[in-house]
Amino acid sequence: MTLTLSVVGCGYLGATHAACMSSLGFTVVGVDTDPEKVALLQSGKLPFYEPGLDTLLAQEMKTGRLSFTTDFSAVKNADVHFVCVGTPQSKDGLAADLTYVKSAVATIAPHLKDGALVVGKSTVPVGTAQALRAELAKSAPQADLAWNPEFLREGFAVEDTLTPNRLVVGVANDRAEEILKEVYEPVIAFGTPWIRADLPTSELVKVAANSFLATKISFINAMAEVCEAAGGDVTVLAKAIGYDPRIGNRFLQAGIGFGGGCLPKDIRAFMARAEELGAKQALEFLREIDAINLRARQRVIDVVRGELSQDLTQYKIAVLGATFKPDSDDVRDSPALDIAAQLQAAGATVVVHDPQGIEPARKRFPNLQYQEVVTDALKDADLILHLTEWKEYRQIDPAAISSLVKSKIIIDGRNMLDRTLWRKAGWKFHALGRTD
């Protein structure tokens, strides 16, 4: 008999997981405490932007296999329960806030049937799974708990869920592994590597992967700083080192650095946990990774001041991009928005454009100005900042917009625009890590 699944927490990760699992043929119930989110999902609409997921969700709702509710007792028929709630940075420190994970497991515990398997997908500090499993052994001894970290990237959520580059399961026994193999059978069938780990290792895999990615980005941004000091070009440097297969060319895009709901908070939570475990020194380097990342934002602001003036009060700056990366409407810890807000705080008039992120950005920074149309944002600008590499910004014709702005100065914070094209059209073009 096919397994029935529940997904607890229908945010970015949960909504994606629920729709994808339904598309594999499972009956899936998604539960969340937020009635607005649930109502939207139940009507087949996404509460956020993610390419391809809107269509998949609408399609799966029609099959009758997928449903969403705020009633947690609806999980009672499920064999496997995926916990997909958030673990944000806590308000008073670097550590992750585990309130939602703990409460999710506690809330479903009374509804778990005999032999049910709770599977955590949220990113948690190492040791959490073992502690939750011990809790569950008391509150619902008929059930078991495993961990199955998620590596999906925003913008590629469906692809990363249905065709991941690996599946990692943290289990305490063979039975839990067998159940998870049954769930992922269609994914395993096309050769996805399957890694069985113990509970702590599975939790560590996720934070180690994100720490490595963050390190790669900060490494190239450190090289950008050196290139600026030495008269080099970081884009050429990245290309040249990337040909070495041991290094690889991915995640070597120098610019204003990483943001989002994962990388920044995960490296901080990892440091906090290592300290608790007495292994603080091992992760000291992550402090530097974080510092390099935040410095990239300051470097852009320094270039702006160098171009305009130390006193920005008389100047209008057009900011292209608010989200932390393209093909997403996520503005959590967005370097672009942070830079926009800092410039505004310094007295500049800042007008922000983004293809998808204006509303979420407005919620966070209601005092910034926003424009839905790029050319409206550029009007009378003294300087343009290209901060999120949406495709539509690469399609801007620099000659065509010349008459809109007050001065033809652009700073490419993502090293993605065609410098030759802009210069040919008479623009002063700056990019991070490139001196000429």
Token look-up 């090293």 returns 415
User: Counting runs of H as helices and runs of E as strands, what totals does the chain give?
Assistant: 18, 14
Out of 14, 120, 260, 321, the only residue in the binding site for ligand UDX (CB under 6 A) is 260
Cβ atoms of 389 and 368 within 8 Å: the answer is no
Residue placing its CB nearer to ligand UDX in the complex, 121 or 273:
121
Q: Is 433 in the site for ligand UDX (CB under 6 A)?
A: no
Cβ atoms of 374 and 410 within 8 Å: the answer is no
Cβ atoms of 137 and 170 within 8 Å: the answer is no
Q: Is 324 in the site for ligand UDX (CB under 6 A)?
A: yes
**DSSP states along 166-192:** -EEEE-SSHHHHHHHHHHTHHHHTTT-
Q: Which runs of E-coded beta strand occur in 84-226?
A: 117-120, 144-147, 167-170, 194-197
Which range of residues in 29-37, 146-154, 355-363, 419-427 is near ligand UDX by CB under 6 A?
146-154
Amino acid at 268: R
Out of 154, 203, 327, 412, the only residue in the binding site for ligand UDX (CB under 6 A) is 154
Torsion sign across C-alpha atoms 249, 254, 255, 261: positive
Tokens matching residue 313? 């009060």
Out of 14, 125, 259, 398, the only residue in the binding site for ligand UDX (CB under 6 A) is 259
Which DSSP helix (H) or strand (E) runs through 302? helix 284-307
Tokens matching residue 259? 């943001």
Residue placing its CB nearer to ligand UDX in the complex, 211 or 349:
211
Q: Is 317 in the site for ligand UDX (CB under 6 A)?
A: no
Give the x/- contact pattern for ligand UDX in 387-416, rule: CB under 6 A.
Answer: ------------------------------
Q: Is 49 in the site for ligand UDX (CB under 6 A)?
A: no
Q: Is 207 in the site for ligand UDX (CB under 6 A)?
A: no
Which range of residues in 81-89, 148-156, 239-247, 276-284 is near ligand UDX by CB under 6 A?
148-156
Residue placing its CB nearer to ligand UDX in the complex, 27 or 415:
415
**Among 117, 107, 109, 112, CA closest to 33:** 107
Annotated active-site residue 10? The verdict is: no
Q: Is 50 in the site for ligand UDX (CB under 6 A)?
A: no
Q: Is 48 in the site for ligand UDX (CB under 6 A)?
A: no
Residue placing its CB nearer to ligand UDX in the complex, 6 or 221:
221
Out of 210, 211, 218, 356, the only residue in the binding site for ligand UDX (CB under 6 A) is 210
In the complex, the smallest distance separating the C-beta of residue 60 from ligand UDX, rounded to whole angstroms, is 22
In the complex, the smallest distance separating the C-beta of residue 112 from ligand UDX, rounded to whole angstroms, is 27
Alpha-carbon span 157 to 296, nearest angstrom: 27
Q: Is 151 in the site for ligand UDX (CB under 6 A)?
A: yes
Q: Is 262 in the site for ligand UDX (CB under 6 A)?
A: yes
Alpha-carbon span 123 to 266, nearest angstrom: 8
From the list 10, 84, 227, 262, the catalytic residue is 262
Distant-in-sequence, close-in-space partners of 311: CB < 8 Å, separation ≥ 6: 347
In the complex, the smallest distance separating the C-beta of residue 381 from ligand UDX, rounded to whole angstroms, is 23
Chain centroid to Cα 121, Å, comes to 15
Q: Is 263 in the site for ligand UDX (CB under 6 A)?
A: yes
In the complex, the smallest distance separating the C-beta of residue 238 from ligand UDX, rounded to whole angstroms, is 8
Q: Is 217 in the site for ligand UDX (CB under 6 A)?
A: yes
Residue placing its CB nearer to ligand UDX in the complex, 109 or 209:
209
Radius of gyration for the alpha carbons in the chain, expressed in angstroms and rounded: 23
- Exposed e or buried b per residue across 323-354, where buried means at least 16 C-beta atoms within 10 angstroms of its C-beta: bbbbbbbbbbbbbbbbbbbbbbebebbbbbbb
Q: Is 252 in the site for ligand UDX (CB under 6 A)?
A: yes
Of residues 76-115, which lie at the interface with ligand UDX (CB under 6 A)?
none
Q: Which residues bind ligand UDX (CB under 6 A)?
A: 150-154, 210, 213, 217, 251-253, 255, 257-260, 262-263, 324-325
Residues labelled catalytic: 262
